[in-house]
Amino acid sequence: MVRRFGWRSLSALFVRRMGDKRGFTMIELLIVIAILGVLTVLGITSFGTSQLKSRDARRKADLLNITKALEAYYNDHGEYPTGTGNTGIAGQTWSNPFTDPDNPTDGALYMNVLPTDPSGYNYYYDSSDGTYFQLYAYLENEQDGELTKDVNDVVMVYSGTDCVIGTCNYGIASTNTYPTTGHTLVTE
């Protein structure tokens, strides 16, 4: 007897014989398990990516809000506060209020709280002479379109910056300078 393989024999795997009420066939169970596995992997991957993007969006928003506060400070004082690296601005640390350093109790309040990085890294502030400022952060999503990459598609970082996890890879600056002034982009 010659067995034929094809549509009839394949479909026979999924069709129960009349009166057979034992449950699912092995092939049906394997297909369902495989589909659930693929959906689980896709869900976990997209969830992790969306969390990275969310934290990076917050970092960018934090730097823009700090920029607004620094511009208000500049309007009041005619200069930007001096830089203190990754510890804060003008002696005022991240997660504390950003007030007038000359008059912290009765002076102007520029920000209720200097924001902190959502993952526990640090932002980096630089202004050596008060004529400009530069702000830096570390973005986790290396596929972010605002990150600079070298010819080998490796994310470049700003030399001389420290965001605790490593060198900062995202920067913004006052209108009279660039993030790369004094902090050249390099590949780690």
Task: Calculate the alpha carbon distances from 161 to 4, 85, 126, 175, 181 in Å.
Answer: 70, 8, 9, 20, 12
**Is 102 within 8 Å of 159 (Cβ atoms)?**
no
Identify the residue whose tokens are 């309040």.
Answer: 109
User: pLDDT digit string (tens) for 137-159?
Assistant: 999 999 999 999 999 999 999 99
Sign of the alpha-carbon torsion through 172, 176, 181, 185:
positive
Give pLDDT, residue 149: 92
Give pLDDT, residue 18: 53
**Is 83 within 8 Å of 107 (Cβ atoms)?**
no
Percent of the chain as helix, strand, coil, to the nearest 5: 30, 15, 55
Say if residue 84's pLDDT is above 80: no
Residue 1 pLDDT class (50, 70, 90 cuts):
low
How would you classify the pairing of strands 109-111 and 134-137?
A: unpaired
Mean pLDDT confidence for 72-87:
90
Mean pLDDT confidence for 38-45:
80
Question: Radius of gyration of the chain from Cα atoms?
Answer: 28
Residue 112 pLDDT class (50, 70, 90 cuts):
very high
Say if residue 39's pLDDT is above 90: no
Q: Which sequence spans correspond to the domains of the chain?
A: 26-187
Give pLDDT, residue 106: 75
Give pLDDT, residue 66: 96
Instruction: List the one residue out of 128, 144, 121, 117 whose CA is nearest residue 181.
Output: 128
